Structure 1
Amino acid sequence: MSTNARIVNEEWLRSDQYHNSFLVRPDDALESALKNSDANGLPAIAVSTAQGKYLHLLARSLGVRRVLEVGTLGGYSTIWLARALPDGGKLVTCELEQKHADVARANLERAGVSDKVQIIVGPAADSLAKLQPDQPFDLAFIDADKPSNLTYFLQAKRLVKKGGVVVVDNVVRRGRVADPDEKDSESEGVRALLRHLKTDDDVEATTIATVGEKGFDGFLYALLK
């Protein structure tokens, strides 16, 4: 990494920490979830603090009662989303790795939201295809393996109500997605989703680029018409 890039990243980190110091209260359960995930060797790829609160506020603003999540990891974003749900609300989250699911269950229990969350373990494409909920979901958050973005999005489109929202994380990837010379599978997975959305008349979507403690990335926000 160049000196300039390192300085910019330090500025982004400092900015996130500064704003969070005013807008995000210290939270033992969330901090414990990150520490427990790290202690168990889970990759440090959870959403940032500011992004977690954004998801929480989004869910509350939309008045959601049912959330679908693809990619549980240690349950950090799951806690943020579950806390936004009213009594009787439900969050279904899909996780490939049994170890990750076990860590997440402990974190959810410690945060006091395990009664609202169902973790389905196994390949998410298979888990989503088998879902036949009595009621559609209001919101979906997709944050799993990027080559399968389109598969996950199409299943979310089936499972989320009309007027509902699908958020897909990590769609900018330090600008690599827009670089035609970058051929990695993660970028290609995002491009496949973008190509689909260009002609999907059932969806209105936009990408919001972000910088912060997680670097230069962004999320896709899609409204199902």
Structure 2
Amino acid sequence: MRQPDYSSADPKQWNAVDTYFTQKLAQDDTTLTNALASNADAGLPIHDVSALQGQMIAILVQIAGAKRVLEIGTLGGYSTLRIARALPSDGIVVTIEANEHHAAVAEANFSKSDQHDKIDLRVGKALDVLPLLNESFDLIFIDADKPNNPNYIQWALKLSRPGTVIIGDNVVRGGAVVNPSSADPNVQGVRSFIDIIAAEPRLTATAIQTVGEKGWDGFVLARVSDD
């Protein structure tokens, strides 16, 4: 059982429900299971999206008809593999990882997958890598250091087109997102991120709070307008 960053009154029950739906709808196959095992063996933090969340992102990729996806925050590449599988044969996911050790583990996971040709791993701080990208993306998944989320959403807007879908993960922070005086820089980063999205006329957005194996969490889902 995963130990969530933000626990609840009944995390065992939430985990049990996640397990039930995962077994029914989003089971990991050998490649994904091995990737998670490799991440654990290499000492990576257990911050991967859950199987259900990974499946949700994959479905959003397909709903958006995405061919080009940008992922900010690779970790060990579990979510990247989920995204790559959802792309058409000529699709590509550009994924950015600042930590060289994490990136090496992810690259090893990709090399063992039949999706490696769809994955373009860039190693470096996202704010150094993003200015080097000169193309637009159909879907952008932001799942990196939360204090920089305000910068990431600004870059997401620069690298978007009309119709681009933007997903921001881990925005509930166990409910702390509602506390304007929080001393947690992750909370303040998320709050600024939300403020920018709320004030941006090009974006239509919503937020969903979730419970499950990752505790009390949630994500923001936004779309760049066609106008």
What does residue range 1-225 of structure 1 map to in structure 2 within 5 Å? 8-133=10-135, 136-225=136-225
Write out the 4+ residue segments of structure 1 that deviate beyond 4 Å after TM superposition: none
Instruction: Find the aligned partners of 2:64 and 2:195 in 1 and give their Cα distance.
Output: 27
Instruction: Find the aligned partners of 1:195 and 1:19 in 2 and give their Cα distance.
Output: 33
Instruction: Find the aligned partners of 1:199 and 1:65 in 2 and give their Cα distance.
Output: 28
1:49, CA displacement in angstroms? 0.8
Q: Which digits, 9 at most, give the CA deviation of each residue in 1:48-99, with x for residues without a partner?
A: 1110111111111221100000000000000000001111111101100111
1:25, CA displacement in angstroms? 3.3
Instruction: Find the aligned partners of 2:170 and 2:42 in 1 and give their Cα distance.
Output: 24
Instruction: Find the aligned partners of 1:21 and 1:86 in 2 and give their Cα distance.
Output: 25
Q: Which digits, 9 at most, give the CA deviation of each residue in 1:86-144, with x for residues without a partner?
A: 111111011001111111011112221111111111110110112112xx210000000
Instruction: Find the aligned partners of 2:8 and 2:224 in 1 and give their Cα distance.
Output: 39
1:46, CA displacement in angstroms? 0.6
Q: 1:6 to 1:191 in 2, by over 3 A?
A: closer
Q: Percent of aligned positions with the same letter in both sequences? A: 42
Instruction: Find the aligned partners of 2:9 and 2:192 in 1 and give their Cα distance.
Output: 33
In structure 1, the gaps of 5 or more residues are: none
Aligned residues: 219
- Identify the residue that residue 4 of structure 2 maps to in structure 1: none
Instruction: Find the aligned partners of 1:10 and 1:150 in 2 and give their Cα distance.
Output: 34
In structure 2, the gaps of 5 or more residues are: 1-6
Q: Which digits, 9 at most, give the CA deviation of each residue in 1:152-172, with x for residues without a partner?
A: 111111112111100000010
Query: Please, what TM-score do these two structures have when normalized by structure 1?
Result: 0.94
User: RMSD value over aligned CA atoms?
Assistant: 1.2
Query: Please, what TM-score do these two structures have when normalized by structure 2?
Result: 0.93
1:189, CA displacement in angstroms? 0.1
